[in-house]
Amino acid sequence: MMSKPLRIGLIGTGSVVREIYQYLFFHSHWASLFDVVAAADINEPALSWFCDEYGIPREARFTDYREMLANVRLDAVQVNTPDTLHAQPVIAALEAGCDVMVPKPLASGVRDAHAMVETAARTGRLLGVDFHKRDDPRTLAAAHRVRSGGLGDYQTSVWFMLDKLLVSDPNHEPRFFASPDFVERNSPLTFLGSHMLDTLLWIVRLEPAKVRARCWSQKLPDLKPVAVNGQDMVSLDIVFTNGTTANIVTGWHLPNAAWATSVGESRLIFTNGMLDIDGARSGLRDLSHGEGLCESNVLFMNFEPDGRVSGFGMSKPGRIFEAIQSFQNGGMTEDERQRLLSPHETGFWVTAAVEAGLQSLARGKQEGDGIIGGADVDVADLLRRELGKEADTYLGAGRSQAGNEWHEIK
Ligand SMILES: NC(=O)c1ccc[n+]([C@@H]2O[C@H](COP(=O)([O-])OP(=O)(O)OC[C@H]3O[C@@H](n4cnc5c(N)ncnc54)[C@H](O)[C@@H]3O)[C@@H](O)[C@H]2O)c1
């Protein structure tokens, strides 16, 4: 028997909905899962473009998400507010009896992350986080190679992810982010670094112990006519609890002539070998007059001739909503629900490492023109400061051995 579609409400209809989720809900192989019945956004233009495009009636459009939750019967809610504003709407939606999905990262800090997961656990609901790179065939294959044991033990890795300047430049038309101050209030570390970190932690299950960051603010403050008080690039050094390390470099100031919107690659080194993941090459290079050379990530999103959109940008959130539907139809055990709320699954450690990186910069020193060298931050201290006794949930006896322990990937 066909399951009924999920009645979905959206909170936030900005750039991630424009770039990714409009295709998931209306043009993907998962579209039959959804009945998008309502949307809320404090920004009228962001709300109108989506609702006009997809026929959401006037009475189902809200500028206050609490009114949407109080007045519309919903099965699930997707919260697309900026990272620092995930917690309140997520918690409100869970308390209203809905299952919830958020785009990565779970939250911008461990206090919010903990409160969100605790609320899901207490209310008996599901909370999914769309770390879409977990479904990238390259990530899946890398995780399989590591799990099969031939590479030996993980030692260190280096990751790069640099976006074109048009992503962070408010002078670019059309503007990439719906919120004009997105780049000033966010960091490439949160927006891009969380992808790299999560991919690493998904491949080799590690917990961060110490973090130190360095950042450059040289290009963005020089933009004209609107200058941006933001970061060009951040480099994050992490030591994990088992003594292994990683260096993650993320930025959003590459010339717009770059061959892809996001240029990324990584190398992971093990006792018996290494893995290279070339995130900047999909294998389809497009050279057209006036456009220059362009390599679009067709593995992430692929516009098919029948009008449907496929790729891991669709399949990862599609599978999260499939799990929500199965849960609501009684097809999930309580053990499985608990597993989906575990720190590795929700990306809790990604949030912890990113927050530690930002604290490292906040405590850092100016070391050159527009360059800040950060201080060392101990992640366990950060958790104790932010969560008090609740930190013990994450810092249990198994923590120092947690390094290469495998959890089943589903
Ligand atoms: N843009 C992308 O391609 C992309 C990709 C992956 C993940 N993400 C994630 O998606 C989330 C949203 O980012 P974005 O790029 O869409 O940002 P954005 O600034 O373009 O959009 C955020 C939207 O949330 C709205 N909003 C803020 N507070 C609200 C509230 N209280 N109630 C209702 N709406 C509110 C804003 O008005 C805005 O329209 C972030 O967590 C980000 O990390 C974005």
Six-digit token pair at 10? 């959206």
> Does the CB atom of residue 346 touch ligand 1 within 6 A?
no
**Strand, coil or helix: 7:** strand
- Per-residue pLDDT tens digits for 303-337: 999 999 999 999 999 999 999 999 999 999 999 99
Q: In degrees rounded to 5, what are phi and psi of residue 345? A: -70, -45
> Does the CB atom of residue 177 touch ligand 1 within 6 A?
yes
Q: What's the rounded Cα separation, in Å, for the pair 321 and 354?
A: 26
Domain boundaries, the chain: 6-133+307-345, 136-305+350-401
- 45 pLDDT band, cuts 50/70/90, is very high
The preferred substitution site among 11, 13, 15 for testing ligand 1, maximizing ligand atoms within 8 Å of CB, is 15
pLDDT of residue 279: 82
Q: Report whether pLDDT(296) > 90.
A: no
User: What percentage of the chain reaches a pLDDT higher than 70?
Assistant: 96
- Per-residue pLDDT tens digits for 94-144: 999 999 999 999 999 999 999 999 999 999 999 999 999 999 999 999 999
Q: Give Rg (Cα) of the chain.
A: 21
Which has the higher per-residue pLDDT, 396 or 22? 22
86 CA distance to ligand 1 centroid (A)? Answer: 9
CATH topology of domain 6-133+307-345: Rossmann fold (3.40.50)
pLDDT of residue 410: 37
CATH 3.30.360.10 fits 136-305+350-401, yes or no: yes
> Does the CB atom of residue 264 touch ligand 1 within 6 A?
no
Of 282, 337, 287, the residue nearest 313 (C-alpha) = 282
- Per-residue pLDDT tens digits for 47-88: 999 999 999 999 999 999 999 999 999 999 999 999 999 999
Per-position b or e across 11-36, b if 16+ CB within 10 A of its CB: bbbbbbbbebbbbbbebbebbebbeb
DSSP-derived secondary structure for 168-210 = T-TTSSS-SSSSTTHHHH--HIIIIIHHHHHHHHHHS---EEE
> Does the CB atom of residue 43 touch ligand 1 within 6 A?
yes
CA 268 from centre of chain: 21
- 408 pLDDT band, cuts 50/70/90, is very low
11 CA distance to ligand 1 centroid (A)? Answer: 9
Of 187, 223, 240, 110, the residue nearest 362 (C-alpha) = 187
> Does the CB atom of residue 208 touch ligand 1 within 6 A?
no
131 CA distance to ligand 1 centroid (A)? Answer: 15
Q: What's the rounded Cα separation, in Å, for the pair 196 and 76?
A: 28
- Classify residue 161 by burial, with Cβ atoms within 10 Å: 0-12, 13-18, 19+: buried
- 3-state SS of 20-52 is HHHHHHHHECCHHHEEEEEEECCCHHHHHHHHH
CA quadruple 183, 185, 186, 187: dihedral positive or negative?
Answer: positive
Of 331, 406, 345, the residue nearest 120 (C-alpha) = 345
Q: What's the rounded Cα separation, in Å, for the pair 50 and 156?
A: 43
pLDDT of residue 1: 54
- Which DSSP letter does residue 285 get? E
- 207 pLDDT band, cuts 50/70/90, is very high
Phi-psi region of 273 (alpha: psi -120 to 50; beta: other; left: phi over 0): left
Six-digit token pair at 187? 């960091």
7 CA distance to ligand 1 centroid (A)? Answer: 21
